[in-house]
Chain A
Amino acid sequence: MAVLADVIVGRPGSTDESGGGGDGAAAFVFGPEIDAVAKVVEFASVTDEILDRWRTPGSNSGAQWEERFGLDRYTPLVERVIEDVLEAAQTSRVDHAVLVSSNSAVTKKASALVRCADTVSISPLGYAGAASVGVAWRMPGSSRAGREHPGPLGCRWRGRNSSPGDRPDRSRSSTSPGYRATRGGSTGLLPDLSDVEGSAGPGAPPRRPEPDRVSGPAAARSGRWKFALSGSRCEKCGFVHLPPVRVCKDCGVVDRMAVESLAGHSGSVATYTVDRLAYSPAPPVVDAVVDFDDGGRFTFEVADADPSALSVGARVETVFRRLNTADGVHNYFWKVRVQ
């Protein structure tokens, strides 16, 4: 007997978590041909070495390179292995083909990639690691995924259509300490990412690098700005600069600035955006350019943001928050909140 089993845990909002990955197991018994439900006619294999998927032992979830790169590399392999196996079996067509891949760009193109088959199916529960090929295997004719595989091949799986009691406890994995540390967001609450508006395709968080660690000396030099939101008001013309500067942007005078804190002040939104591509512990990033009532303009991240509550002219106030954490260093600064 050969048993294939795997559990796929994705990061919150990832393809693996939101339907592209699944947990499953399949078992095959090998024996005399007379008892067999299926017989291997021919086989072929082709391999290549690329960085497409990786997961270190003990980590909560796996990671994936940009899918189109994998698609580019897997496509010729698929074409070649089909050619090889058809040649070995001395045929040019098959009734049904099963294609499994850790790369969802490949499975999305299953029919186009396997043109020698009348029908092509993929794993009914998404990528299931080592179990994928087992759970995807179906007898000819049973092309629709059922709740449980009828399984003359001894294959059982529970997928997304299982009853609630059977459903893998994904909420547990997504609130494990490892995630809590990086997902705190500005409110300390765990955002429900299942309905995050406009992430790039269903369940695919943007692939962006995490922010740089704050520089200790730079933060120390700008302490009054960073922690008290202190800008500089030109003593000659009154222009307010955020962050503080030495040369007046308006009149050009040098080193005639008065420190002025705008912490707790209110202002109006000059413009705003929802950045669905940027890294944030609480995506998506909502930013607003704010004009303070007493002068001064700065671009802030919006805390506790509901993009639909924003408009040009909306009233906001400043709040002190954590923007992100990098290398174990919390980056505290100011955001604004709609009043």
Chain B
Amino acid sequence: MSSRGIRDRVAVVAMGCTPFGEHWDRSADDLVVEATEELYANNPRISRDDVDAYWLATLGSGQSGLTLSKPPLALDYKPVTRVENYCASGSEAFRNACYAVASGAYDRVMAVGVEKLKDSGFSGLLRGGDPPADGTAAELSLTAPAAFSLLDPAYCARYGVDPSDFRQAMTHIAWKNHHNGALNSKAQFRSEVSKEKIESAPLVAGRLGVFDCSGVSDGAACA
């Protein structure tokens, strides 16, 4: 077994990204166009014709490469590979785009991620399209926040951490994340939140409150 890195063989030469938020007025297609147009606007020396192939990441906002090639970007004769890997889908498209350049197969490729979660009307993340099954998989009936919240009692019990100390650490993380978000013009939540507000927020799952769980959002990014 061997694994060889691709260090120094690929460079990111341009990026684009939409703001994240509840974009009731914009479709997934709009978000894709907005992100890629920002990329071209900020990098006038790069044109659409320079991009040889695309990797597209989406969990539930489209199917197949058509999500990119058919209406939004009107791509002809450019291969689009759609990847899906839960919350790591965007990283997965990025990683595979890097390998495409590193292998020498292409000179220039684009990774695009898009998600339009707010159109469903449901709370939280929907996987959508679960394969037909025997109805016994507990992991699939739990929501993502609940699955992560299982770590809290187990960690405290295993390492002898006082639950209130653990809660304080989680509060600090949420507080820090909102502090950083306030500095980011494209973040969904752009205000600082006090630790008292974080700790008294309604619970979502286990001891995770609304500030401990990521917001459901619409957005797109490309590189």
Contact = CB atoms under 8 A, between A and B. Distances in A.
Q: What is the interface residue range for chain A against chain B?
A: 35 or more
Interface in A184-209: 198, 200-201, 206-209
Interface string B18-50: 000010100000000000000000000000000
Given A65-B121, A270-B154, A285-B141, A215 B133 contact: yes
A127 interface: no
Interface in A273-295: 273-279, 285, 287, 289
Given A219-B134, A226-B135, A243-B136, A276 B203 contact: yes
B72 interface: no
Given A72-B22, A73-B24, A219 B135 contact: yes
B62 to A, nearest CB: 19
A214 interface: yes
A273 B146 CA distance: 6
A200 B154 contact: no
Contacts of B24: 69, 72-73
Contacts of B51: none
A211 interface: yes
Contacts, number: 130
A212 interface: yes
Contact of B136 (A66, A72, A225): A225
Interface string B136-175: 1011011101100111111011000000000000000000
A299 interface: yes
Contacts of B206: 272-275
Contacts of A201: 202
Interface string A286-324: 010100000000111100000000011100000000011
A148 B136 CA distance: 53
Contacts of A277: 123-124, 143, 145-146, 204-205
B124 A226 contact: no
B8 interface: no
B157 A312 contact: yes
A208 to B, nearest CB: 6
A287 B146 contact: yes
Given A278-B141, A278-B146, A271 B122 contact: no
A221 interface: yes
A275 B157 contact: no
Nearest to A215: B132
Given A212-B132, A298-B138, 4 more contacts: A65-B121, A277-B205, A285-B142, A311-B153
| 6 A-B pairs closest in CB distance | A275-B146, A215-B132, A271-B154, A299-B138, A273-B206, A312-B157
